[in-house]
């Protein structure tokens, strides 16, 4: 063990580890990267986190940088759960529900709690968090907050940010703050604090006041965006102020989240699910545009394309045997309505049915949960594709979650297909959140081969250019991490990106919190950390679902 590890172990209740096995394990998340940490800390309480960050801060004051990376379950696909310094691992000890008010549905949890476990507990009280990732059974709520996750129901319910009331955050110097929306009067009190917290409030308030136009320009015209920082939801027009939106989606680059207070909503499992077979991009876009106009929105509008269905058929020809015959349609669209308001719900279901009939689109309509499950299995078949290995080729998370304004989805799909043609791939597997203009793609490549590496970078360059050209965001769901950092300045332009960098400097003047994530990673940097042996490691216990 190093001197540092000995010192920390002496002062923490939790454990410190430096074994090569543990370091190798935490060198990977679910991205294509590999960065072994120097040591691993398993905090047993918030005080352990405070002491750890304080220690790293004091080292930095003496010009020695020991980076801190917070880590949940490591399902991050962008390399944001990796770091060369100290990794703080949450799930081992900090995984409890601290308080649950079954009347109001408010719940306070430690950051390392498994999302699926929280959801199950809430459901026993007839409630749930409607923004959840498909990885919920094997990821943490802390990771979900840090990535600002979205899921299939985010079409209607938005990202997890909509359900977070407040946070407890350990700042870079070890100070703990609590965030929630505060009044103008309360803000004035914060501005007068002599602590680091006071300095943060003063600096952020000044930055926002002095750059109102840039802040407003940083809001992109998309329904979900996790690129960079959320600058627009901190200060309300009424003078209220909340640092929570800044921490949400910041991937551990501004502070370490120890506790989260969430609001849940009533859960009603009853729903109507349509599976529509759509034969062309124009029809797909027309259906999506019409659904967006529904007063009572569907809760979920998801797509899988023929490329994905054909890929799954070639891996496992019987996977859809009971529910879907070949030849497959160009697009399968899954539209689900949940019944929060009975009258509106029935009206919307009827309207959707009429829409498909009028457009001569074949569809199935299911209300029985068992039959719905069979259809959902098709939507979740992307897991079969993701976990398939063809020789040494695997599905690579490199251009996975671009989002465009919903009315530009057809342009995104056709543009993406053209980009793949340039590298001689004629059929592309596409799935995801069509209603939000947010699709997933993971090309099959062998990154240990120079030719495929070159293809990967060409795809990234062309794809992110396309997204920007269509007025979208390069991170609709899985956030930036190291993977998309080289493209962030292009997305926002130098002025807005510099403003985001200023915000980072306020919270983290020594650059110890997850450095290399969102800032200071070039394309050459990411070339140096690619793991040629990328795999989905521990996820196979759950991967039939994705
Ligand atoms: C097959 C698959 C499916 C997925 N599906 C979805 C999906 O539907 N929607 C979606 O949005 N994402 C999805 N993801 C991405 C990922 O699973 C989610 O973002 C997940 O919520 C991350 O949680 P985690 O516990 O694994 O976090 P980690 O991977 O451990 O960390 C993620 C980020 O959060 C930071 N972090 C973790 N804990 C803290 C903390 N306490 N304080 C500060 N920062 C912290 C880390 O530093 C890192 O930057 C998917 C990934 C895979 C592999």
Task: Output the pLDDT for position 532.
Answer: 80
Task: Output the pLDDT for position 526.
Answer: 96
Is the separation of the CB atoms in 3 and 40 below 8 Å? no
CA dihedral sign of residues 391, 397, 399, 400: positive
Task: Output the pLDDT for position 386.
Answer: 93
- Domain assignment present for residue 33? The answer is no
Is the separation of the CB atoms in 170 and 46 below 8 Å? yes
Asked if residue 295 and residue 246 are part of one domain, the reply reads no
Note the pLDDT tens digit of each residue in 410-453: 999 999 999 999 999 999 999 999 999 999 999 999 999 999 99
Last residue in a domain, options 266, 286, 307: 266
Whole-number average pLDDT of the chain: 96
| Closest ligand 1 atom, residue 514 Cα | 47
Asked if residue 165 and residue 109 are part of one domain, the reply reads yes
Rounded distance from Cα 83 to ligand 1 centre (Å): 15
At 533, is the pLDDT very low, low, confident or very high (cuts 50, 70, 90)? confident
- Domain assignment present for residue 21? The answer is no
Task: Output the pLDDT for position 37.
Answer: 98
- Domain assignment present for residue 529? The answer is no
Q: 500 preceded by cis ω (within 30°)?
A: no
Task: Output the pLDDT for position 340.
Answer: 65
The CATH number linked to 211 is 3.30.465.10
Note the pLDDT tens digit of each residue in 165-200: 999 999 999 999 999 999 999 999 999 999 999 999
The pair phi, psi for residue 280, each rounded to 5°, is -150, 160
The SS3 of residue 121 is: helix
Rounded distance from Cα 61 to ligand 1 centre (Å): 31
| Closest ligand 1 atom, residue 257 Cα | 42
- Domain assignment present for residue 364? The answer is yes
At 284, is the pLDDT very low, low, confident or very high (cuts 50, 70, 90)? very high
Of the candidates 202, 161, 187, 194, the residue with the CA atom closest to the CA atom of residue 241: 187
pLDDT at 1 over 90: no
CA 57, 63, 66: angle at the middle one, nearest 5? 50
Asked if residue 443 and residue 377 are part of one domain, the reply reads yes
| Closest ligand 1 atom, residue 139 Cα | 25
222: tokens are 């998309």
Of the candidates 277, 226, 534, 284, the residue with the CA atom closest to the CA atom of residue 409: 284
Residue 145 contacts by C-beta under 8 Å, 6 or more apart in sequence? 111, 160, 164, 167, 247, 248, 257, 260
Residue with tokens 């009258």: 343
Asked whether 244 lines ligand 1 (CB < 6 A), one says no
- Domain assignment present for residue 62? The answer is no
At 273, is the pLDDT very low, low, confident or very high (cuts 50, 70, 90)? very high
Q: Name the residue range of residue 151's domain.
A: 97-266
- Domain assignment present for residue 115? The answer is yes
Asked whether 516 lines ligand 1 (CB < 6 A), one says no
Asked whether 256 lines ligand 1 (CB < 6 A), one says yes
- Domain assignment present for residue 25? The answer is no
Asked if residue 253 and residue 358 are part of one domain, the reply reads no
Separation CA 82–CA 87 (nearest Å) = 8
Find the mean pLDDT for residues 314-322.
92
Separation CA 508–CA 521 (nearest Å) = 17
Rounded distance from Cα 351 to ligand 1 centre (Å): 37
Asked if residue 163 and residue 286 are part of one domain, the reply reads no
472: tokens are 């979208």
Asked if residue 290 and residue 165 are part of one domain, the reply reads no
- For the residues of 228-286, what is the DSSP string, one character each? S---TTSB-TTS-B-SHHHHTTSTTSS-EEEEEEEE-EE----EEEEEEEE--HHHHHH
Rounded distance from Cα 77 to ligand 1 centre (Å): 8
At 322, is the pLDDT very low, low, confident or very high (cuts 50, 70, 90)? confident
pLDDT at 546 over 80: no
**Distance (Å) of CA 139 to CA 35, 115, 124, 235:** 20, 6, 20, 31
Q: Which of 39-43, 97-101, 423-427, 509-513 bottoms out in mean pLDDT, i.e. has the lowest? A: 423-427
Find the mean pLDDT for residues 96-121.
97
Asked if residue 345 and residue 257 are part of one domain, the reply reads no
Task: Output the pLDDT for position 10.
Answer: 97
Q: Structure pTM?
A: 0.97
Task: Output the pLDDT for position 545.
Answer: 73
At 204, is the pLDDT very low, low, confident or very high (cuts 50, 70, 90)? very high
Last residue in a domain, options 212, 239, 266: 266
pLDDT at 213 over 80: yes
Task: Output the pLDDT for position 329.
Answer: 97
Rounded distance from Cα 363 to ligand 1 centre (Å): 34
pLDDT at 163 over 70: yes
Note the pLDDT tens digit of each residue in 473-524: 999 999 999 999 999 999 999 999 999 999 999 999 999 999 999 999 999 9
157: tokens are 């319910």
Residue 242 contacts by C-beta under 8 Å, 6 or more apart in sequence? 179, 180, 181, 182, 233, 234, 236
Label the pairing between strands 39-42 and 86-89. parallel
Asked if residue 322 and residue 175 are part of one domain, the reply reads no
**Would you give the distance in Å from CA 364 to the centre of its chain?**
31
Asked if residue 285 and residue 201 are part of one domain, the reply reads no
Asked if residue 465 and residue 321 are part of one domain, the reply reads yes
The CATH number linked to 433 is 3.40.462.10
- Domain assignment present for residue 118? The answer is yes
Rounded distance from Cα 420 to ligand 1 centre (Å): 28
Task: Output the pLDDT for position 536.
Answer: 83
The SS3 of residue 213 is: helix
Of all protein residues, whose CA lies closest to atom 28 belonging to ligand 1? Answer: 74
pLDDT at 539 over 90: no
Last residue in a domain, options 481, 505, 539: 481
Rounded percentage of the chain residues whose pLDDT exceeds 90 = 93
Note the pLDDT tens digit of each residue in 396-406: 999 989 999 99
Asked if residue 258 and residue 305 are part of one domain, the reply reads no
Label the pairing between strands 300-305 and 331-338. antiparallel
Asked whether 438 lines ligand 1 (CB < 6 A), one says no
Count up the domains in the chain and report the number: 2
Note the pLDDT tens digit of each residue in 241-264: 999 999 999 999 999 999 999 999
Asked if residue 258 and residue 283 are part of one domain, the reply reads no
């Amino acid at each position: 063990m190093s001197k540092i590890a000995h010192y920390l172990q002496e002062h923490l209740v939790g454990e410190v580890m430096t074994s090569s096995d543990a370091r190798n394990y935490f060198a990977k998340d679910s991205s294509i990267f590999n960065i072994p940490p120097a040591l691993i800390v398993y905090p047993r309480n918030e005080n352990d986190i405070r002491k750890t960050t304080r220690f790293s801060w004091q080292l930095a004051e003496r010009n020695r940088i020991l980076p801190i990376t917070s880590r949940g379950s490591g399902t991050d696909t962008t390399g944001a759960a990796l770091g060369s310094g100290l990794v703080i691992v949450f799930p081992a000890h900090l995984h409890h529900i601290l308080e649950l008010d079954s009347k109001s549905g408010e719940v306070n949890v430690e950051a390392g709690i498994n999302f699926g476990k929280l959801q199950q507990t809430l459901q026993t009280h007839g409630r749930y968090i409607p923004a959840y990732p498909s990885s919920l059974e094997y990821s943490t709520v802390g990771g979900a907050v840090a990535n600002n996750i979205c899921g299939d129901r985010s079409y209607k319910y938005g990202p997890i940010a909509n359900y977070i009331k407040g946070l407890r955050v350990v700042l870079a110097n070890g100070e703990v703050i609590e965030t929630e929306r505060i009044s103008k009067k309360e803000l004035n009190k914060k501005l007068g604090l002599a602590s680091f917290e006071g300095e943060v409030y003063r600096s952020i308030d000044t930055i926002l006041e002095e750059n109102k136009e840039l802040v407003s320009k940083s809001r992109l015209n998309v329904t979900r965006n996790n690129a960079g920082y959320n600058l627009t939801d901190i200060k309300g027009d009424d003078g209220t102020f909340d640092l929570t939106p800044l921490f949400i989606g910041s991937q551990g680059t501004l502070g370490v989240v120890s506790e989260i207070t969430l609001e849940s909503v009533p859960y009603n499992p009853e729903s109507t699910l349509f599976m529509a077979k759509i034969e062309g991009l124009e029809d797909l876009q027309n259906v999506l545009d019409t659904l967006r106009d529904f007063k009572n929105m569907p809760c979920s509008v998801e797509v899988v394309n023929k490329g994905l269905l054909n890929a799954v058929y070639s891996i496992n020809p019987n996977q859809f045997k009971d529910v879907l015959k070949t030849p497959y349609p160009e697009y399968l669209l899954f539209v689900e309505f949940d019944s929060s308001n009975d009258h509106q719900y029935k009206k919307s279901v009827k309207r959707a049915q009429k829409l498909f009939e009028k457009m001569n689109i074949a569809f199935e309509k299911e209300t029985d949960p068992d039959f719905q499950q069979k259809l959902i299995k098709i939507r979740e078949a992307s897991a079969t594709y993701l976990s398939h290995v063809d020789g040494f080729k695997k599905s690579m998370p490199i251009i996975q979650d671009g989002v465009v304004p919903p009315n530009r989805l057809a342009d995104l799909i056709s543009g993406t297909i053209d980009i793949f043609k340039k590298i001689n791939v004629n059929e592309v597997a596409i799935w995801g959140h069509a209603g939000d203009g947010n699709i997933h793609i993971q090309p099959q490549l062998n990154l240990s081969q120079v030719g495929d590496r070159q293809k990967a970078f060409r795809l990234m360059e062309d794809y992110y250019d396309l997204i920007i050209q269509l007025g979208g965001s390069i991170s609709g769901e899985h956030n930036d991490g190291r993977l998309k950092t080289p493209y962030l300045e292009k997305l926002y332009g130098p002025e807005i990106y510099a403003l985001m960098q200023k915000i980072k400097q306020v919270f983290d003047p020594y650059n110890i919190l997850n450095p290399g994530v969102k800032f200071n990673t070039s394309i050459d940097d990411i070339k140096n950390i690619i793991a040629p042996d990328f795999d989905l490691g521990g996820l196979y216990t759950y991967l039939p679902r994705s």
